[in-house]
Chain A
Amino acid sequence: MSGTDLLDGFDLAALPGASAREAASARLRAGGWPTRRDEAWHYTDLAAGLRGFALGPAPAVEVAAELPEGQRVVFVNGRFDAARSTAPDWVGRLGGAAADTARGGVVVALNTALAEDGVAITLAPGQQGGTLFLVTLAAGRGETMPAIAPRHRIALGAGATLTLIETARGEGSYLHAPVFEVELGEGARLNHYRLQDESGEAVHVATIFAEIAGGAGYESFTLNRGARLSRNETHARLTGPAADVHLNAAQLLNGTQHGDVTTVVRHDAPDCASRQTVKSVLAGAARGVFQGRIEVDRIAQKTDGYQMNQALLLSDEAEIDSKPELEIFADDVKCSHGATIGALDPEQLFYLRSRGVPAAEAKSILIRAFLDEALEPVTDEAARAVFEAAIGAWWREGA
């Protein structure tokens, strides 16, 4: 597909904020989808993943789903579903306002050009938001591949807290390219838990920008198990002293799935901590990617950065590409990173089987144990339940 006809299926002039959309679409048309020649996309060929698919606007559809109890916001094909949402008053919508175009690459430009809706969460200083589910449902049932590009904004005032549990599911072939803009005031805490469980024919490319003020904490865990091609790209910036960020993730992939976890953590203030534990379990001919970059500004003294990337390969054809990068300009910092690749240990398998545990169950126990370290910081019970169910289902569906 050439760069010029990427957005031919869309009538951008009909959407509000046309000028920002035009600017973003011009950028997209000029560059086209990223290929392996783009350094940031060297291991994930988005152009190849979308070749042969004609993108079109996401139609209004109905998608049946079991919904979680409690506070929830439901989006279907990128549109707010008022009837099935139970949103508190601090949850608004990001109408059709076109978003900021300054940061991010081509995928963010696509979102900027197409975003029509999204959730806008605003918590006042000190406000306790409890747990909110963000349920996104999608369906691609026609000739074209719907492009679903919601823009979500989450702003927590000083000392406010929220646990956001996002589940992304769907059916058929579609592109889901959400962008999250997270802003945490001083001492605020956001637990951002994300389950990417999209349709096996879908492409999921999420971008998260998080700005974290002094003393604030951004605690995130993402589980990638759906979509034929996925990328979760997080840009976290620690802007005030003594802030902390956890960017943990796990991938459970099989068949010919491709899953990419990309992180950029920028330390722009002293005494901050960043922690990343990313675990990939790859079966069949699945391919996993981890790219993690830690940037430490010269004023960010006493930075404590940790990054661990581990892959468990369940077959000879599975593959992991791992690219850690450290860019440190301060002189008094502690930064460490590591990567391991391994297979299931036959001694451990035999030990379990010798105790009566059937081979398939023994494997699932060892895989769950492998994931444990990445899941450990997820203490919220509702989130735990979501992830445990997804991990259990992955196994039952035959990895």
Chain B
Amino acid sequence: MLEIKGLTATIDGKEILRGIDLTVPEGEIHAIMGPNGAGKSTLSYVLSGREGYEVTGGSVTYNGADLLAMEPEERAAAGVFLAFQYPVELPGVGNANFIRTALNAIRRARGEAELDAVQFLKEARAAVTALKMPDDMLKRNVNVGFSGGEKKRNEVLQMALLKPTLALLDETDSGLDIDALKIVAEGVNALRGPAFSALVITHYQRLLDHIVPDRVHVLAAGKIVRSGGPELALELEANGYAGLEAA
């Protein structure tokens, strides 16, 4: 269970998160919607431990542990995965090697045996096929020369192989055509289960047609201003975000 209480954070002294309260129980998928500049990406970066953000107040616990006290790699080992809005290119680093290194680092941190190259490639190839990705996706350098859609699918491929228990999807739908969007949604839905939870951050409602959330929250000006069921997303789609800041 993810519990965020009174979270405030600044970048360069500017307050972006102004007291976020949010609970995501195990097994649930919650959507966070909101206008540009509401603090959606900041929330995902603060949760994953990116440098440059100063947490000025509040707490975040994941399964009882203080998430904010952990290094980014410790959060990954604890089961947290951030699907980046802008996946980073790593020239000179092969994709298969990258994912295997990550998987084995997580397994080491958890005291599990590492996977050898053969075992890993078998799993990786199956995941590539399931995500309808080109076969050479594993051989290429990480995200180098990938189209926008391929980069997003590569995030989902990593998620499928690292098997997180808490996924943070930061505008994973942006830049995707409808076919790619469905594939990405299938990747997330495949992980759904009693031990998997996710925060799906999106500007648009259309992703939520394919990843149906248990709860929808509206983030505006650094605060959750409304929460509701899936129908809230439809309402926002129809009426827009105008006026919500004042709510």
Contacts and interface: CB of A to CB of B under 8 A. Distances in A.
Interface of A: 345-348, 350-359, 361-362, 365-366, 368-373
Q: How large is the interface on B (under 10, 10 to 19, 20 to 34, 35 or more residues)?
A: 20 to 34
Nearest to B93: A369
Contact of B71 (A345, A353, A366, A368): A353
B49 A354 contact: yes
Contacts of B77: 356
Contact of A354 (B48, B91, B103): B48
A90 to B, nearest CB: 38
Nearest to B83: A354
B183 interface: no
Contacts of A346: 51
A366 B98 CA distance: 11
Contact of A369 (B75, B84, B91): B91
Query: Which of A348, A355, A370 lies at the interface centre, i.e. has the most chain B CB atoms within 10 A of its CB?
Result: A355
B1 interface: no
B92 A355 contact: no
B105 A351 contact: no
Contact of A359 (B71, B87, B93, B158): B71
A372 B90 CA distance: 12
B138 to A, nearest CB: 15
A350 B105 contact: no
A369 B92 contact: yes
A88 to B, nearest CB: 36
B90 A353 contact: no
A358 B50 contact: no
B102 interface: yes
27 contacts: A345-B88, A346-B51, A350-B88, A351-B84, A352-B90, A352-B102, A353-B71, A353-B72, A354-B84, A355-B76, A355-B99, A356-B73, A356-B77, A356-B105, A358-B105, A359-B71, A361-B105, A365-B93, A368-B92, A369-B90, A369-B92, A369-B93, A370-B92, A371-B92, A372-B91, A372-B92, A373-B92
B82 interface: yes
Interface string B108-124: 01000000000000000
Given A356-B106, A357-B102, A361-B105, A350 B72 contact: yes
A72 to B, nearest CB: 30
Nearest to B48: A354
Interface of B: 48-51, 71-73, 75-77, 81-82, 84, 87-88, 90-93, 98-99, 101-103, 105-106, 109, 158, 162
Contacts of B71: 353, 358-359
Nearest to B101: A357
Nearest to A347: B88
B51 A355 contact: no
A354 B84 CA distance: 10
Contacts of B109: 356
Contact of A348 (B51, B73, B88, B158): B88
Nearest to A367: B92
B101 A361 contact: yes
Contacts of A366: 90, 93
Nearest to B80: A354
B40 to A, nearest CB: 17
A110 B50 CA distance: 55
A207 B82 CA distance: 51
Query: Which of B50, B71, B87, B102 lies at the interface centre, i.e. has the most chain A CB atoms within 10 A of its CB?
Result: B102
B143 to A, nearest CB: 9
Query: Which of A353, A362, A366, A373 lies at the interface centre, i.e. has the most chain B CB atoms within 10 A of its CB?
Result: A353
B112 to A, nearest CB: 12
Contacts of B82: 354
A29 to B, nearest CB: 48
Contacts of B76: 353-356
Contacts of B84: 351, 354
A350 B88 CA distance: 9
Query: Which of A358, A365, A370 lies at the interface centre, i.e. has the most chain B CB atoms within 10 A of its CB?
Result: A358
A366 B93 CA distance: 8
A344 B87 CA distance: 17
A174 to B, nearest CB: 35
Nearest to A370: B92
Given A347-B88, A351-B88, A365-B93, A357 B51 contact: no
Given A350-B50, A365-B101, A356 B162 contact: yes
A350 B92 contact: no
Nearest to A355: B102
Contact of B51 (A350, A370, A371, A372): A350
A350 B101 CA distance: 15
Contacts of B75: 354
Query: Which of B51, B87, B90, B158 lies at the interface centre, i.e. has the most chain A CB atoms within 10 A of its CB?
Result: B90
A362 B82 CA distance: 17
A371 B72 CA distance: 26
Query: Which of A352, A356, A369 lies at the interface centre, i.e. has the most chain B CB atoms within 10 A of its CB?
Result: A356
Contact of B90 (A351, A358, A373): A351
Contacts of B106: 356
Nearest to B50: A350
Given A348-B88, A350-B88, 20 more contacts: A348-B90, A350-B50, A351-B88, A352-B90, A352-B98, A354-B50, A354-B72, A354-B75, A355-B105, A356-B76, A357-B73, A357-B105, A358-B73, A358-B105, A361-B105, A365-B101, A366-B90, A369-B90, A369-B93, A373-B92
